[in-house]
Amino acid sequence: MPANLLAHGDPLLIPFLDAATDHDATEPLALLLAAAEPVIREAVRRELARSLAGAGQVDDVASEVRLRMVRKLWALRRDEAAPIDNWLAYVARAAEYGCYAFLREQFPERTRFRNRLRYAVAHHASTTLARDEQGVWRCQTSRAVRRAAATGSTEAFVNDPRGWLSAQRIDLSAALPAVLDQMLAAFDRPIELDRLVDAMAGVLGIADARPPRRRGDADKAPPIVDPSPGAADVLEHREALLRTWNEIVDLPLRQRAALLLNLRDPDGGAILHLLPSTGVVTSASIASALDLDEAALAALWDRLPLDDLSIASQLNLTRQQVINLRKSARARLGRRLRGGAQ
């Protein structure tokens, strides 16, 4: 392990970074991810669950953050990334950034408007933006209001933004900071930033085109394991991963060996290195699927993914036979995962 990581990295990372082999590192990797899991879930729910744009995507974004953390850790072990001083703080920041990146990609108009609104509230002399004890951003007035706001006025706005604004005679043609100043002064309590954004975006006609379908959409076939940029999709949904793994195990031995030993993620790493961290597929399961004992798998682990010639040598086949076996495995998986004939 690089000396600078021991000197400056979070001690929580040392068992993973100091493991003798990548195979030995899988168990401490799983422990790091288990510690990160509640941090990821809390951060993603906090950032997305309260907005109309993100509420339905909490699981998908959490899965993407989880996968990004796995890649970060392996890069750190290879000394290809900067040291992490505080693992859980890093995870929290990465989860927040993952939420923002998702919203910016899928809902660019709403994200631009959110940035404008946030800036307007934070920089106006009479309005404030602050996080509450749960870490949720809330907007409120900071000026002394002569007359107390009507009870329930904040909720009334959320339920019927257009009607409430009309009743309050707030001029929407004014500059955004001035509009927000009037609104927040009339609310009876602070309002969540994302609820304010959703409501005002609807009133002002700010909308994005239908966002592109994301991996895991209900009308899309389950992900098929394949050594291509889409192969790591199997990590996004545990249920889909389990189904896919069960189908792989049902393949003839040589087909599944030709497939599994060559599987690569988009960065060229071995997908088999990632599977134990999901908690769905264990190292013992992988060894069994390859008809190896765990000691033999451990000896092979750090060489993964194997090229076709290495797989051919392992299986006592020709390179072309390995290619043909993998092609047959993909075709059969495709049929099975789509519910077609075997």
27-40 pLDDT, tens digit each: 888 899 889 999 99
Q: What is the mean pLDDT of the chain?
A: 81
**Phi, psi for 109 (deg, rounded to 5):** -65, -45
How remote is the C-alpha of 54 from its chain's centroid?
12
Q: How much is the pLDDT for 162?
A: 92
| pTM assigned to the model | 0.57
Place of tokens 């990465």: 94
Q: Which of 196, 110, 199 is nearest to 163 (CA)?
A: 199
Burial of 132 (0-12, 13-18, 19+ CB in 10 A): exposed
Place of tokens 């394949």: 226
* Strand, helix or coil for residue 139: strand
Q: What is the pLDDT along the chain (342 residues), one digit of tens a residue?
A: 444 444 446 888 889 988 888 888 888 888 998 899 999 999 998 888 877 777 888 888 898 899 889 888 988 888 887 888 889 989 998 898 888 888 888 888 888 888 889 888 988 888 999 888 888 889 999 877 656 678 889 999 989 999 999 999 999 988 999 999 999 999 999 999 989 999 999 999 988 875 544 444 433 333 333 333 333 343 444 667 778 888 899 999 999 999 999 887 655 667 787 777 666 788 788 989 999 888 888 888 878 888 899 999 989 999 999 999 999 988 888 888 776 444
Contact in structure between 195 and 140 (CB atoms under 8 Å): no
Q: How much is the pLDDT for 124?
A: 87
The DSSP 8-state label assigned to residue 228 in this structure reads S
For the chain, which residues make up each domain, given as ranges?
Answer: 3-106, 110-204, 231-337
Q: How much is the pLDDT for 160?
A: 93
**Interatomic CA distance for residues 293 and 290, integer angstroms:** 9
**Interatomic CA distance for residues 294 and 271, integer angstroms:** 17
Contact in structure between 294 and 26 (CB atoms under 8 Å): no
Q: How much is the pLDDT for 274?
A: 72
